[in-house]
Structure 1
Amino acid sequence: MAAPDSDTTPDTNSPDTTPDTNSPDTTPDAVPHSGPVPPTPPAQETAPVPRWHRHSDGAVLLDGFHALKHAVRFGAEVEVAVTADRAAALALADELAPDVLEALAALLTEVPYATYASLVPRPHPTAVAALAVRPSRAGNLAGLARTPRTAPVVVLDQPRNLGNAGAVIRLAAGFGATGVVTTGTLDPWHPTVVRGGAGLHFATAVERLSVDELPAGPVFALDPEGEDIRALRLPDDALLAFGSERSGLSPELRARADHLVALPMRPQVSSYNLATSVAMTLYHWSAAGGAPV
C-alpha cells in the first residue's frame, strides 16, 4: 500500500525539450477572431526590444499565451509583452480568456517572428512572451507564515526536475494551496519551471527555503513506510512534503516530519510521478472538506 514519492523522470536542471503536447499551451494560434482586433495603443508603439532588454535582468519570463494570461489574471505587473501575431493572440484571448482581452490588447506589441524568437530560449507555439516583476519575497513569506491557514503548503524537498516542479505549482494553484516551497538548489522561478506552471506562480506563494525555514505547521511527509493516506484526514494547516524525484526525503526533512504518509499502490509498481503524487494528496485533502477548487 505504501507508495514511493519519487519518480523516474531523469534528473536535470536543463530546460526540457519535450514538446508540451498535453498542455493547453499548444492551442493553435490560428483561431478565427470573432471581432475586430483592438488597435495597439500609442504607449505600445515605442520599440519593445529596448524595453525588453531594460527589464530582463531579474524579471520573470512569461513564455506563451497561457503564462501571460494567468499572470495578468492574478495581478502580475507586466513590464513588456510581445507577439509575432497580435491578431492571433487576441483571438485566443477572445475565445479562451475574454476577462483579460482588454488588458492583453493594451500590453501586446507585434514584432517580427525572428525578433520574438531572439528574445526567448525556445519559441512557444503561440509566439507570445512577456516579462513580469517577480512578487516580493517578503510578501510571499508573510503569506506562507500567516495563520490560521485555510489550505496546506506543498513542500518539494530537493526537487531535481524543472518540468515536474512547474507541474506541481500549477496543481497547487488549481487546488488553492497556500503556496509551494522548494528546498535545495532548484530555482522555482526558473523560466522552465514558470513555463511548466503556465504562469500560475502568480496565483500562489512560491519560494525556496531551507528545512529550518519552513513555515509552522504539522509536516505530513510522503514515504513508502508511512501510514495509508486513506486512513488520515489532512488538516488545512499541514505542510505536505514530497521527496526528490530520485532520492526521496532528505534526512533533514524526514527528521522534521510529524507524520509519514503513503499513497496506495499496486505491488510491483515502483513509483508515481511527483506531480501525480501531489495531485492525489491534494485531492485527498480537498475531498475531506478543503478549500473549493
Structure 2
Amino acid sequence: MNEELLRAWRTGAEEPGAVLLDGFHPLKHALRFGGAVRQVLTADRAALLALAAELAPDVAPALDALAVELPEAALRTLAPRLHPTGVIALAVRPTAAANRAALADRPRPGPVVLLENPRNLGNVGAVIRLAAGFGAAGVVTTGELDPWHPAVLRGSAGLHFATAVERLTLAELPAGPLHVLDPEGTDIRATAFPDDAVLAFGTERHGVSAELRARADELVAVPMRPGVSSFNLATSVAMGLFHWMSGRPPGGPA
C-alpha cells in the first residue's frame, strides 16, 4: 500500500503544473481559495484533522476526504525536510492562460504588483502573501526566477491560490497606469494609486531598470532617512499596498 501511494505521488509530481505544498498552512490556503489539491499525505492523520478543526474548520471536510496517513520515514523519501506539521500535498497551479486572463480583467479590484527581475525566493513569497492579504489583483515577475518555486510557495504560505501569480515580460504587462517605485520619484504621500494601477518594484540590488523607468506613468518614492540605503523589497511592497488601501473608503472590500 505504501509503495502504491509513493508511486502515485511521484507520478503526480511529474504532471505539468504540479506544485508541492509543504506544511499545513500552504495546504489550508490552497483548499480555502479553490486550489486544485490532488494528494495529501501525512504522518499523523488524526493530528492533522485536529489541527484543521482548531485553526481552519472551513477546510476540515476537504482534508478528511483527501488525507492519507503514511509512516514518517516514507514521507521523508518525498520531502526530506518535512514540515513540523507532518503534511505534504500536491496541487496543480492555475494555467498561465487563466492567470493572464485574471490579470487582464478590467475593472480590477486592486493593483497588480510587478517585481522586476527579483532574486530572492523568500522575498517573492513574502510579496505574494502581502498581495493576497491586501487584496491586490495579482503579482507579476519578470526575469528567470520562477514565482511558483517551492521555496516561494513556502514563503507565501500557499497564498498563490488567493491571487494571480505569473511570470511575464515587460511587453506583456497588464494594462493600467504604471507607478514605479524609485528614489528619484515624487513623494508617495503626494499621489494616489488607482485600483487598476500597476505598482512596479525593482530588483533587490539595482532597483528598476532604465527601460521600466522610461515606461512609467509616474515615479514614486517612499521617504527614507538620509544615509539608509534602501528598504527590503517586501517592506516596500507593503508600504505601497498600504498607501493604496489607505485611499479607499473604510469598510470596503479588501
Supply the RMSD in Å over aligned alpha carbons: 1.6
Question: What is the aligned length?
Answer: 250
Higher mean displacement: 45-54 or 244-253:
45-54
Does structure 1 residue 262 correspond to structure 2 residue 221? Answer: yes
The Cα of 1:122 is off from its aligned counterpart by 2.5
CA distance in 2, matches of 1:252, 1:120: 41
Q: TM-score scaled by structure 2?
A: 0.95
Matches within 5 A, 1:24-63: 47-57=4-14, 58=16, 59-63=18-22
The residue type equivalent to 1:49 in the other structure is L
* 8 Å Cα contact 1:167-1:196 kept in structure 2: yes
Instruction: Report SS of the residue matched to 1:119.
Output: coil
Q: TM-score scaled by structure 1?
A: 0.82
The residue type equivalent to 2:13 in the other structure is S
Does structure 1 residue 80 correspond to structure 2 residue 80? Answer: no
Matches within 5 A, 1:215-234: 215-234=174-193
Does structure 1 residue 209 correspond to structure 2 residue 178? Answer: no
* 8 Å Cα contact 2:26-2:159 kept in structure 1: yes
Q: Taking structure 1 as reference, are residues 93 and 202 closer, same or farther at Cα in structure 2, changes over 3 Å only?
A: same
The Cα of 1:190 is off from its aligned counterpart by 0.5
The residue type equivalent to 2:122 in the other structure is G
Q: Taking structure 1 as reference, are residues 249 and 121 closer, same or farther at Cα in structure 2, changes over 3 Å only?
A: farther
Which string of whole-angstrom CA distances, capped at 9 and with x for unpartnered residues, describes residues 8-52 of structure 1?
xxxxxxxxxxxxxxxxxxxxxxxxxxxxxxxxxxxx999421221
Q: Structure 2: any 5+ residue segments left out of the alignment?
A: none
Matches within 5 A, 1:1-150: 47-57=4-14, 58=16, 59-120=18-79, 122-150=81-109
The Cα of 1:121 is off from its aligned counterpart by 5.3
Which string of whole-angstrom CA distances, capped at 9 and with x for unpartnered residues, describes residues 104-150 of structure 1?
11111111111112212522111111011110111110111111222
Instruction: Report SS of the residue matched to 1:91.
Output: helix
Q: Structure 1: any 5+ residue segments left out of the alignment?
A: 1-43
CA distance in 2, matches of 1:161, 1:268: 24
Does structure 1 residue 292 correspond to structure 2 residue 253? Answer: yes
Q: Tell me what 1:171 maps to.
A: 130
* 8 Å Cα contact 2:2-2:70 kept in structure 1: no
